[in-house]
Structure formats: structure tokens, C-alpha cells
Amino acid sequence: MKDKEKKLLSFRESLQVNLRALKLFWKMSPKGMLCKIAGTFWGALTPYVGIRLSALIIEELSGARSPERLKSLILAALVSAALFSLASVLLDRAMQVELDSVNWFRTDHLLWGKMLELDYHITEDPETRKMLSTIRQNMNGGGWGIHRVPENFDTLLRAVLSLLGGLALTVSLFTSRVPEEAGGLTFLNSPLFMALFLAGMLAASLLSSFFSTRANSYYALHSDSHNLVNRLFSFFGFLGQRRDLAADMRIYRQEQICMKYNKDKTGIFSSQGYFARLARGPMGLYLAASSAVSILFLTGMVYLFVCLKAWAGAFGIGMVTQYIGAISRFSGSIGSLFDTAGSMRNNASFLKLTFDYLDIPNAMYQGSLTVEKRNDRKYDVEFRDVSFRYPGSGDYVLRHVNMKFRVGERLAVVGMNGSGKTTFIKLLCRLYDPIEGAILLNGIDIRKYNYEDYLSLFSVVFQDFALTDYTLGQNVAAGETYDGPNARECLKKAGFGERLEELPLGLETYLGKTFDQKGVDMSGGERQKIALARTLYKNAPFIVLDEPTAALDPIAEAEIYSKFNDIVEDRTAIYISHRLSSCRFCDNILVFHKGSVVQQGSHERLVADEKGKYYELWHAQAQYYDEKTVGAGAEAAL
């Protein structure tokens, strides 16, 4: 398996996205970033204190040998080591609490929070979904993207500080002069030699980092394949735990399908696979070259230079420890600086993708008018010559729809599947905006209202409604906290009363076992009732039932609809169904056909019009159920 190599961003672009990501972290967690900076500062300083004190002790041992001075030096070394590591641990802990532990949550929130803010049609766009899923896969698979930013920042800062610390302790290495009696070795004093030595160190550091960055870039450049490996691993890893697959897996031994990945000699998991070959081949070679250059040239040059100067008498033996320690760290930090720059560049295209996603403009929900809160629920909604087609589709799904809801009305929207009923509701809830015409709330275009405010007017149960794995009470309230008596009352009204009595944990019962082993799996019918209770709990002036009962037979649906009608009280209720029998009790029935409202009126009036669509549909559907049953069914409902 081989995929196309990606392109790295330019140096300037890389810098820009990395700086932006850093600002983002600063905004998300200023305390965490401060702890990180302090911790890094401390961490970078600590070794130099040890190096300096060791050098002083050795100097003392090989020189004056004063017991008093030795004692105080050793004490200073011990106390400083203890204090430094204590402070380091404390700062590290604080940083972990402030930054690392919340990092995943905050960045995750950033990503899915954006999905909730985006214009609805953009969230449905496969390109947007793909973008988010690629960002996540890169994050979980290779650790690329936003999560790598604090880590890179940390190593960069550490390298810079280390560089400064090393520099401070090595200045005297270059300034201390080899005495004239050392003869030929006085060339070590020559500024030209020192410049060459420094240039050589810089070149070796650069070369070593170039090799290691090149090796690491393979994962970045081939992140798509790498992500696939990670996806497959996650899939296989959790296969045994999947409750939804457990029974089928056992009966059909489906795990065998996965074995092909193991058997395939050239597959991604095998020792002949693409990544294994890369690791054995160029990636491994680059890493080896990086280490070789670092050890042979950097360490070798440092030892040679320091030992020669000490040999020639430029300084004492104690200083050899200091210089070797400090200059090794100094050159290591040059390498680390370049490595981090490489890592930042490798990460830049992943950051760019994240920002491209976060920068998708939110154009639709910009209205600012507040919706008047009315106790009398006197809201009227009007569709004025509304036409609509889905983004990217040429065909109109709704054409010139004109209608008005009266307050407290029971409105039914009926029509064959695909006639535009759900689309009509989606426009009402502003999941989409009309292409032509306008929808008005109390005479004002709904686009002008603050979206949250406007949405608070509606309680909708869609056909594919979703409940969460939280507690029953939280599901009814659609929130973290809930008003128990009210939630219980709504569940009772929705026909869940008896079942609620049977549950030992009552409203605290978790739905499913994701969060609690004592959680209960509810049946489809029970879930519907919970969803209906949720609409009642919200207590919005408009209630919409968009065929949440589609999985039931027509008679059961009719029963639920008509019974529900008794409990919606003074609210405006809109019932959607392709089954005409379910909505016959409504005062006003809109008949949709191919995106247009072709008829409107009560059941009696519509069914009397023999030329109308309603008459045709009613008689076509009547063969599936007995009209008398449908009419009388409400008692047994809920």
C-alpha cells in the first residue's frame, strides 16, 4: 500500500499556523501555559546548576582541598538538587492539571462545537464531515495537529533556554587561553580556529536534525495510510467489546474477516508492509545517520576540543566536567531547536487543515432580534410563497408554499413519502433557509431573529430522533439537571408512567450500559415515549411530531397521534405523516404533493372532494386498515 506524498507548507506558512495555534492555547488555558513556561524554564536551568556545582567540587578536590569549602559545596549541590526537583515536580503537576488533562476535552469541544455552530447544510456536506474526520484521525493516529502544539512549544522553549544556559557556562571555554609554553597547541587560541569549530558544530547539528526531521516526516507525509492503520487497529481492538455486534459476531464468526489483514504478506500490519519497509529502509537509515552525525561529530568534536585545551593547560580538571557537560547540552539544544522547527513544519499542514475547518464561515445564523416571550403563546407563523431546493441539487423540493398557522391549532401535514413534508419542517426550524419567499413569525422574517431564541419556540420529534446514554431524567430535560416532578409528569403524560414505576432508580436510570452497568436498554416504543415526554418538558409553544412513529403500524400511529393531541393543551401542534388515517382528527390538514400544498382543510371536507389528492390517497391507503379501527383506536393508545 502506498499513497501519494503530501506537500509540506512553506516555512512562513508553517510559522503563521504554529503561532496561531499557540495563541489559541494561550486563550484556552492561560494558567496552563504559564505553568508550562515556568516548568520548562526550571527544567532547562536545573542541569546547569548541577554541572556548575560538580565542576566546583572537582576543582576543589584537585586544588585547595579545603574541607570547609567542600562541605558547603556538597551541601549546596544536595539542597539545590532537592529544591529544583521538588519545584519541577510541583510545576509539572500544576501544568498537567491545568493544561494536559483538559487539553483533549477543550480541543475536542472546539471541533464538535464548531459543527454545532455551522450552517446546517454545511454540516451535511460530505466534505465538511471528511475534514473533521481527517483532523480527528490525524490527532488520534499520529498525534498530529493541535495537540502537538504545546509539546512543540515546550521543546522549543527548553532548547532556547538550554542554549542560553549552555552558552553562559561555555563562554570561558573560548576565552580561557592556552599558555604560550604549550607550543603547537596555541592554535587553539586562534579566533579563526574557534570560528571554524563553532561553524562545524552548527553544521553537524543542522545535519543531524535534517536527518531526524526527514525520518519523522514519513509519518506526516503518509498520514493517510498511517491513519488507516490506526483506524483498523481501533476497530480490531474494540471488536470484542462491541455490544451491538456481540451476537452476530458469535454466530457468524465475523472476526475472521479481519484475519485477512494478518495473513496478507504485504498488508499494512505485516513485516513486509509499507511502514515496516519504510522503517527498515529510508526512515531507519535517516535516524541512524542522525545519531551517527551527532555522536561522531558533535560529541567527538566537543571532547577533542575541551580535552586538548585542558591538556595544554588552559584550565583545570574541574572545568573539563563543566565544559563537556555544558557544551554537550548546548550542542544538543541546537539540535533540539532544529528538530522542533522540523516537527513544527511537519505539523503545519495538519494545523492548517484544523484552521481551515474552524474558519468555515457561519453565515446563516446571524439574526439578532429577540423573540418576544408571550404567556398567551400568541405566535403566528406564515410561509409566504416559499420555494426550496437542497444545496447542490437542481430540483425544487418545495414550490410556492403559502400557509399560516393559527395559535393553538392542530395542523397535519400529509402526503406521500418524498412529497416534502420533512423539508417543510426543516425550513420552519431554520435548518435551511428558503431559496425564494420567506417564513414570518409574527410578521417578521425568521432570519432576523436570534437563532437560539427562535428555536426555543419549537419542540420537534423527528423520525430518527436521538436519545443519549445519560439518565432518563436528563433525557427528558435534554440537560444536565432536571425538575423531577415535571419530568415524571411529562413521562406519565407520554404513557411511560407504569414503566417508570418499575424502574428502581426511576429518573436516575441510565439509558443503555455505556455509563452504568445497571442502565436499562429501552425498547423502540419506550424510547418513542421518552422522546415525546421530552417535547412536553420543553414546554415550547409549537410541538412538531415528524413521524417518530413510522416504525409502528398505521393503527398504533393513529392512536398515539390522537392521544398525544389531548395532552398538548393550548400549544400549536403539527403532525406529519404519510398515513392519512393518523391525522384525521386535525382541524387543518395540508396535503403535500411533489413539493406543493395541493389541498387544505378538515378531513371531512377533503375526503368529500372526489377529485382531490386526499381522496385518492385515503382510498389507496384504506385497504391496509379498516377505517372503523382507525377512528376508534385512541382509547388503547399510550
Q: Residue 269 or residue 465: which is nearer to ligand ADP going by CB? A: 465
227 touches ligand ADP (CB under 6 A): no
Binder to ligand ADP among 141, 142, 367, 415 (CB under 6 A)? 415
Q: How far apart are CA 258 and CA 382, in angstroms?
A: 55
Q: How far is the CB of 117 from ligand ADP (least distance, A)?
A: 19
Q: How far apart are CA 482 and CA 118, in angstroms?
A: 28
User: What is the torsion angle, in degrees rounded to the nearest 10, for the CA atoms of residue 286, residue 288, residue 293 and residue 294?
Assistant: 110
The contact pattern for ligand ADP, residues 371-410, with x = CB under 6 A and - = no contact, is -------------------x--x---x-------------
How many C-beta atoms lie closer than 10 Å to residue 92's C-beta?
17
421 touches ligand ADP (CB under 6 A): yes
Give the interface segment with ligand ADP, choosing from 161-169, 208-216, 412-420, 501-509 (CB under 6 A): 412-420
Binder to ligand ADP among 113, 418, 479, 631 (CB under 6 A)? 418
Binder to ligand ADP among 422, 459, 577, 581 (CB under 6 A)? 422
Q: How far apart are CA 459 and CA 541, in angstroms?
A: 8
Single out the residue of 534, 539, 429, 545 nearest to residue 479, CA to CA: 534
- The site that binds ligand ADP (CB under 6 A) totals a number of residues, namely 12
Q: How far is the CB of 390 from ligand ADP (least distance, A)?
A: 3
127 touches ligand ADP (CB under 6 A): no
128 touches ligand ADP (CB under 6 A): no
Q: Residue 399 or residue 492: which is nearer to ligand ADP going by CB? A: 399
How many C-beta atoms lie closer than 10 Å to residue 210's C-beta?
17
Q: Residue 220 or residue 414: which is nearer to ligand ADP going by CB? A: 414
Q: Residue 155 or residue 419: which is nearer to ligand ADP going by CB? A: 419
Binder to ligand ADP among 107, 212, 225, 419 (CB under 6 A)? 419
Q: For residue 92, how far is the Cα from the chain centroid?
A: 25
148 touches ligand ADP (CB under 6 A): no
Single out the residue of 226, 215, 238 nearest to residue 141, CA to CA: 226
Q: Residue 124 or residue 616: which is nearer to ligand ADP going by CB? A: 124
Q: Residue 106 or residue 426: which is nearer to ligand ADP going by CB? A: 426
Q: How far is the CB of 438 from ligand ADP (least distance, A)?
A: 19
How many C-beta atoms lie closer than 10 Å to residue 317's C-beta?
13
Q: How far apart are CA 294 and CA 300, in angstroms?
A: 9
420 touches ligand ADP (CB under 6 A): yes
Q: Residue 415 or residue 519: which is nearer to ligand ADP going by CB? A: 415
Helices and strands (DSSP H and E) totals, the chain: 25, 10
Q: How far is the CB of 365 from ligand ADP (least distance, A)?
A: 18
Contact between 221 and 2 (Cβ < 8 Å): no
141 touches ligand ADP (CB under 6 A): no
Quote the cell numbers at residue 114.
464548531
Q: How far is the CB of 108 from ligand ADP (least distance, A)?
A: 26
- Do β-strands 410-415 and 436-441 pair in parallel, antiparallel, or remain unpaired? unpaired
Q: How far is the CB of 380 from ligand ADP (least distance, A)?
A: 23
Helices 191-221, 223-239: inter-axial angle, 10-degree rounding: 50
Q: Residue 114 or residue 578: which is nearer to ligand ADP going by CB? A: 578
Give the interface segment with ligand ADP, choosing from 71-79, 345-353, 374-382, 413-421 (CB under 6 A): 413-421
Sequence-separated (6 or more) residues with CB below 8 Å from residue 508? 471, 472, 473
Q: How far is the CB of 397 from ligand ADP (least distance, A)?
A: 4
Q: Residue 103 or residue 422: which is nearer to ligand ADP going by CB? A: 422
355 touches ligand ADP (CB under 6 A): no
| DSSP conformation letters of 395-440 | S-SEEEEEEEEPTT-EEEEEESTTSSHHHHHHHHTTSS--SEEEEE
Taken in order 605, 606, 609, 615, the sign of the CA dihedral is negative
Residues of span 12-71 touching ligand ADP by CB under 6 A: none
Q: How far is the CB of 393 from ligand ADP (least distance, A)?
A: 5
Q: Residue 171 or residue 551: which is nearer to ligand ADP going by CB? A: 551
Q: How far is the CB of 574 from ligand ADP (least distance, A)?
A: 13
For 46, 420, 510, 516, the CA distances from 519, given in Å and listed in that order, are 52, 38, 4, 5
Binder to ligand ADP among 423, 475, 528, 549 (CB under 6 A)? 423
Q: Residue 215 or residue 398: which is nearer to ligand ADP going by CB? A: 398
User: What is the torsion angle, in degrees rounded to the nearest 10, for the CA atoms of residue 442, residue 447, residue 453 and residue 458?
Assistant: 70
Q: How far apart are CA 366 and CA 360, in angstroms?
A: 14
Which residue ranges make up the site for ligand ADP (CB under 6 A)? 124, 390, 393, 397, 415, 417-423
